[in-house]
Structure 1
């Protein structure tokens, strides 16, 4: 087989670049995907009960980039959805990120009002404060609140999700779920939010529906690379796997999903996502009908449990942001820079904890600033 381009991986990065190469440059593209479906971890499907689920955990699209939103809107209409998350704390469903509503849910009114006034005076209304920053407060009340939030909201969840304490990770991880000095209890405040109204799989199918694009699924690139002739390669998988782990294995976190369906009820919990930072081994329960707003009898929930990634046994989901891991990644990146006509992009290839919109923006930037320039 001979192609102008081979793209390894049919997640967001691979699909965006395949679409751009095919439609904008009239290039012949082969997309190689080891799974039996396109869409990577954003893949969704109907379970045996007809409920549309996200197979690899909830994917809520949100962005402040009009460019990214308009690009994807070529391939889908959107179900407008504002994500709200509860965390079970002392038997109560408490909004997270922790905000002023959370404060009043957990504490007596007079105390909550007193602390609210201090938070606004100290940090300002509408500000987002990382927990590790608030822990440095010299105010006795705020210090006590920060310690409470750290123990009840962050510590247990982070330990389960990442296998380490919050302060052992790069500060960018805890900054993703800050303390929000506001009564806006949405999980995201981005301008554009939603889920594809026919699902992510339909979005990806439309994105790849071009005669210049061929898809080879259930295929490991490493097993077929010597039998495929191509001019240029885009790789979206784990960067260490590409180089056969020559410097050692980069750590990733993996996930295990356990579904349950209920025929005797149409609702299971008060929010689409409920986190369990302190109880049980799993981290969260997602009820998918509340995300998609699908109208079918019964309801499906999925319990999510994190674990270490073991190549060949499970899937890599999250790079582990730590200084020593970045040092190892840089060794592989230097090897990438020595390759001609090779581009590495995406959460696993860049070893970056991207959101979906960041993945799309990164792929579009690569196409516009490097690939077009290289071809011309």
Structure 2
């Protein structure tokens, strides 16, 4: 009999497994369908000996010192600031759009003040910003929207930006200075020896048992446990009773080239051409020195493992119905991107898991207090 069964060995499941065992001294069975821990952040050495991210690039960034302090128990860090270029009109230009992007695209020499005027002349008036298209055209105008955003977003999500929540493109800022960093968080680093090593240290505890290549649906009635934490798709947990929630998937083509470098930065986006959305070259992320280089091409799809909840109003409405079903199950804790149908960054999932552990502690304390009171009343 395990005290806890935790479904999913990504950030949410692994953090909660570590907290429950190290802080409460309780036993955990941690399971995952894949053959490894780490979820989508899993990294490994390919046949050439190059450290790659099996499921696309994962760059850690946060403004929360508490999350940094927690993860630093399991890894040292390598300094890294993420920079992304995008292939537009035959040029490689910085994204998010900044001063150098516009000057490079149009062969101009604008100042920051002039760039603000440039955008102001091109903005479209939108009475109410509701969609991803609204966000962009009301900020920088339709021409730049068509060049940088529409094609990429349609490939990534399988629908036009006019049909997506404003949250998608609102994640990408527009700048009038020359800051070409993709993120501006105060903490931007990579685990020194990779994510997998960090996860392995996190779940290295005598009270954590791990079963990989294990499907919860196949063992849910076979293994005894007292409490459940679920980090998989919430609609699957309830056997899709209300219908399937749409998730966007990815397919990856991993290649190794017999050359030291392929592109000037870790990630290059392709909004106008190609079937893939981006190419990642991992040596920029890891700092590894190697005579060869390994790349990943990303192809979004509706078929395959669920990666991203699709942010549309009708999907959110369906999720809310599943959420109501989850609220009626106080014996199950739903945590993570798939179980709460949210497009979270890694640090946000860690924060959610740590907050959930705080609620678990309170719930267990309340149970203990109630049990003690019942015993006292019976004795009286």
Task: Name the TM-score, length of structure 2 as normaliser.
Answer: 0.91
Alpha-carbon deviation of 1:167? 2.1
What does residue range 237-256 of structure 1 map to in structure 2 within 5 Å?
237-256=232-251
Other-structure match for 1:91: 90
| Structure possessing the higher radius of gyration over alpha carbons | 2
Mark the runs of 5 or more structure 2 residues left unpaired by the alignment. 122-128, 366-380
Asked whether the equivalents of residues 60 and 346 of structure 2 are also in contact (C-alpha less than 8 Å), the reply is yes
Which whole-Å CA distance do the structure 2 matches of 1:99 and 1:168 have between them?
A: 26
Alpha-carbon deviation of 1:78? 0.6
What does residue range 325-336 of structure 1 map to in structure 2 within 5 Å?
325-336=315-326
Mark the runs of 5 or more structure 1 residues left unpaired by the alignment. 123-128, 138-144
Change (3 A) 1:105 1:72: same
Asked whether the equivalents of residues 237 and 348 of structure 1 are also in contact (C-alpha less than 8 Å), the reply is yes
1:132 to 109, 131, 134: 134
Q: How many residues align?
A: 357
Other-structure match for 2:154: 159
SS of equivalent to 1:246: coil
Is 1:375 aligned to 2:374, yes or no?
no
Asked whether the equivalents of residues 247 and 332 of structure 1 are also in contact (C-alpha less than 8 Å), the reply is yes
Which whole-Å CA distance do the structure 2 matches of 1:28 and 1:40 have between them?
A: 21
Which whole-Å CA distance do the structure 1 matches of 2:321 and 2:299 have between them?
A: 31
SS of equivalent to 2:316: helix
Asked whether the equivalents of residues 13 and 363 of structure 1 are also in contact (C-alpha less than 8 Å), the reply is yes
Other-structure match for 2:350: 360
Alpha-carbon deviation of 1:332? 0.9
Change (3 A) 1:76 1:110: closer
- How far does the alpha carbon of each residue in 1:91-113 deviate from its partner, in whole angstroms, 9 at most, with x for none? 11000011111011111325677
- How far does the alpha carbon of each residue in 1:277-329 deviate from its partner, in whole angstroms, 9 at most, with x for none? 010100000000111011122001110010003xxxx2100000111001101
Change (3 A) 1:189 1:113: closer
Which whole-Å CA distance do the structure 1 matches of 2:293 and 2:138 have between them?
A: 44
Is 1:210 aligned to 2:209, yes or no?
no
Is 1:148 aligned to 2:147, yes or no?
no
Other-structure match for 1:79: 78
Which whole-Å CA distance do the structure 2 matches of 1:23 and 1:220 have between them?
A: 26
Alpha-carbon deviation of 1:339? 1.0
Q: RMSD of the TM alignment (CA)?
A: 1.9
Other-structure match for 2:372: none
Asked whether the equivalents of residues 112 and 176 of structure 2 are also in contact (C-alpha less than 8 Å), the reply is no
SS of equivalent to 2:141: helix
SS of equivalent to 1:226: coil
Alpha-carbon deviation of 1:179? 1.5
What does residue range 26-175 of structure 1 map to in structure 2 within 5 Å?
26-110=25-109, 115-118=114-117, 132-133=134-135, 135-136=137-138, 146-175=141-170
Other-structure match for 2:269: 275
Which whole-Å CA distance do the structure 2 matches of 1:49 and 1:73 have between them?
A: 29
SS of equivalent to 1:209: coil
SS of equivalent to 2:221: helix
Which whole-Å CA distance do the structure 1 matches of 2:98 and 2:136 have between them?
A: 13
- How far does the alpha carbon of each residue in 1:309-358 deviate from its partner, in whole angstroms, 9 at most, with x for none? 3xxxx210000011100110111111111113210000000000000000
SS of equivalent to 1:227: coil
Which whole-Å CA distance do the structure 1 matches of 2:114 and 2:134 have between them?
A: 18
SS of equivalent to 2:204: coil
Asked whether the equivalents of residues 191 and 198 of structure 2 are also in contact (C-alpha less than 8 Å), the reply is yes
Which whole-Å CA distance do the structure 2 matches of 1:348 and 1:160 have between them?
A: 21
Alpha-carbon deviation of 1:148? 1.8
**Runs in 1 of length 4+ with deviation above 4 angstroms?**
110-115, 119-122
Asked whether the equivalents of residues 5 and 28 of structure 1 are also in contact (C-alpha less than 8 Å), the reply is yes
